[in-house]
Structure 1
Amino acid sequence: MALKNDLILRAARGEKTERTPVWLMRQAGRILPEYRAVRNSLSGFIELVTTPELAAEVTIQPVDILGVDAAIIFSDILVIPEAMGLPYEMVEKKGPFFPETIKTAEDVAKLKVADVASDLGYVLEAIKITKKELNNRVPLIGFAGAPFTIFCYMIEGSGSKTFSKARRMLYQAPELAHQLLQKITDSTIAYLKAQITAGADLIQVFDSWAGILPPTQYESFSVPYMKQICDAITEVPKTLFAKGAYFSRHSLAALDCNAIGLDWNMDIAESRKLCAGKTLQGNLDPCALYASDSEIVKATKSMLDLFGFEKHIANLGHGVYPDINPEKVKVFIETVKEYSSNK
């Protein structure tokens, strides 16, 4: 059965749309009281991720409550290292933590390429439930972390301002780094393909820590693995988002992807030139949603004017922050819908 609202898929493919589609990174989560009610009934974040019925419920909440044009499956990029044999914990108010990290060639050798059906079946089940419950209202976005970002966590063991342990390996043991990146890439490709089989209509690859690398290293340690993913995924549109890596836009746009995500520091006109022919996604500053309603309307209209009204998926330049009022998010979403409908 055809989707009732396929705006995001058409925009990603570069087709004309009646208005600009809109969704938000991290929309399924902490800003919504309805999400917190589900989350607080459980032992922790990981229990929510691994319980398909509840993951599906919080995936759909933003469609019902905020009126976004797509759902994105509620999960975490770190399910991949766990499926490869490196489990993680989610520490309240601190973020992810890996009790064991990758230090040596022996550590890399011990990792397996993820068996998606057995190791990540809970995500696939959540996708199937979500698709059924959405009843073709809007598309469902699947996602994974980019290999370099996953690599950072597997070596560092947690979030970091510098990821100096992970970056040290690039200088001291580049061959070992490439071996680990390849294993992550193989796991990620299998995972994304399984998400598509389960029902994902579009996939996004998040390179959250792309901006910590110098351009030459990004070309060596990220772009080739992003290329493998893009070349392997042919069934649905693909969006690449490399936060902070303003230097990467041209290289990523040369890959077989449909859309390039922009963070709020990336100039829109410059990005149009660097990513010629691609759909762009973004890129309102998430902090703009702390402003008054009238200022949010003004900033959103300005952003839409700069992008133009073709080949654009409206979003923030990063995930919505947890203390932002959902009513402010609704102002952003409604402004995108109303203003772009009149163009």
Structure 2
Amino acid sequence: MDPKPLDQSVDKPLLAVLGGERRDPPPVWMMRQAGRYLPEYRALRADKGGFLDMVYDPPSAAEITLQPLRRFPLDAAILFSDILIVPHALGQELSFVAGEGPRLAPPLTDASLGDFQPRMDRLQPIYETVRRVKAELAPSTTFLGFAGSPWTVATYMVAGEGSREQADARQLAYRDPGRFAAIVEAIENTTLTYLLGQVDAGVDAVQLFDSWAGSLAPREFERWVIAPTARLVERLRAERPQLKIIGFPKGAGGKLAAYARETGVDALGLDETVDPAWAHSVLPDSLPVQGNLDPLSLIAGGEPLKNAIRNICDALAGRPHIFNLGHGIQQTTPIAHVETLLRLLGKPL
């Protein structure tokens, strides 16, 4: 399918910042902004069933994607989906256990990729969700698609679930790097297809979530985070030269500068543990930065929230900046605190 050209006649503030412009106030969105902290999401889930049922039901997924935009003056919609759609498309079975999170079966500790029958048809409902959202989205709102980065997705595929230290995947990468590289390559190839499909269905930009990037030693980080991400970015750009890509290597810390330099992402997401003043001092001056409010400060509200917002905006005032959280918004976040955040950022409600 031929790529759809971006409409240059409509001002999309967040997309402009991804292109290197500075905006005051900064555009804002929140990771996991479509989800459990919203009563309308909880009501829909009670009516429709489980999480995965909603992800694969385009009317429900589109409604959830749009819900926060109806409440708040956010500059981006983020597709309601999950990073484990890619292993599901590769043929691993996916389920969500209440109170425990996702499960992939069989785990690659007990099976091999050759045991799976790929099911690329599982990507089609996600593309339909994108088309439905695009048809209803305000022209000035940037539409963000996403996928998990190869390392993080591999950790789930190997262990069959999330884990605190990602020990199974790390041990496999040390013990049998050839086999682990084959897993990463399969994820890479499917992720390329998946993200190109999202772009062709209507997203404006994409984010690569590397939620477990912080668990690796420096040389392993180079091999399993930076190198696969760089390849994926290069391949995406070869297919869709105008596409803007945000990299979010959570926990990378002191390796952020190398990640920014070597992956070629258009913007870098910072988690809440990163000092924004330090990040500003070590990253290229023109690189757009996204982040990085602690989600717990949003729950706390009051002076801690005001001080945190001020600190981030002051530290990143000299570069293109997208205001966001350092990770996903939490279920117990008061709606009033989100409204306060937006008012403090100069976003009229």
TM-score, normalized by the shorter chain, greater than 0.5: yes
Which residue pairs with 1:138 in the alignment? Answer: 141
Matched, 1:85 2:91: yes
8 Å CA contact 2:58, 2:132 repeated in 1:
yes
Which residue pairs with 2:251 in the alignment? Answer: 244
Matched, 1:326 2:332: no
Choose which of 96, 103, 106 in structure 1 pairs with 2:102: 96
Matched, 1:158 2:172: no
Provide the rounded CA distance (Å) in 1 between the counterparts of 2:64 and 2:321. Answer: 26
Name the Cα RMSD after superposition.
1.8
Provide the rounded CA distance (Å) in 2 between the counterparts of 1:283 and 1:135. Answer: 25
- SS of 2:251's equivalent? coil
Which residues of structure 2 form unaligned runs of 5+?
1-6
Which residue pairs with 1:109 in the alignment? Answer: 114
Provide the rounded CA distance (Å) in 2 between the counterparts of 1:75 and 1:330. Answer: 25
Provide the rounded CA distance (Å) in 1 between the counterparts of 2:21 and 2:208. Answer: 21
Task: Render the CA deviation track for 1:47-103: whole Å, top value 9, x for unaligned.
Answer: 100000110111011111122110001000000000000011111111101231113
Provide the rounded CA distance (Å) in 1 between the counterparts of 2:16 and 2:325. Answer: 19
Which residue pairs with 2:274 in the alignment? Answer: 266
Choose which of 38, 54, 61 in structure 2 pairs with 1:32: 38
8 Å CA contact 2:299, 2:332 repeated in 1:
no
Matched, 1:304 2:309: no
8 Å CA contact 2:12, 2:139 repeated in 1:
no
Task: Render the CA deviation track for 1:158-190: whole Å, top value 9, x for unaligned.
Answer: 111122111110111111000100010000011
| Cα shift at 1:4 | 5.3
Percent identity (aligned): 33
- SS of 1:233's equivalent? helix
Matched, 1:21 2:27: yes
1:66 to 1:135, Cα distance in 2 relative to 1, 3 A: closer
Which residue pairs with 1:123 in the alignment? Answer: 126
Moved more, 92-101 or 19-28: 92-101
- TM-score, length-scaled by structure 1: 0.93
Task: Render the CA deviation track for 1:6-54: whole Å, top value 9, x for unaligned.
Answer: 1111111111324200000000001100111111112200010000011
Which residue pairs with 1:220 in the alignment? Answer: 223
When the two structures are aligned, how many residues end up with a matched partner?
Answer: 336
| Cα shift at 1:330 | 1.7
- TM-score, length-scaled by structure 2: 0.92
| Cα shift at 1:296 | 1.7
1:185 to 1:44, Cα distance in 2 relative to 1, 3 A: same
Provide the rounded CA distance (Å) in 2 between the counterparts of 1:324 and 1:139. Answer: 24
- SS of 2:289's equivalent? strand
8 Å CA contact 2:13, 2:140 repeated in 1:
no
Provide the rounded CA distance (Å) in 2 between the counterparts of 1:4 and 1:61. Answer: 23
Which residue pairs with 1:176 in the alignment? Answer: 179
Which residues of structure 1 form unaligned runs of 5+?
none
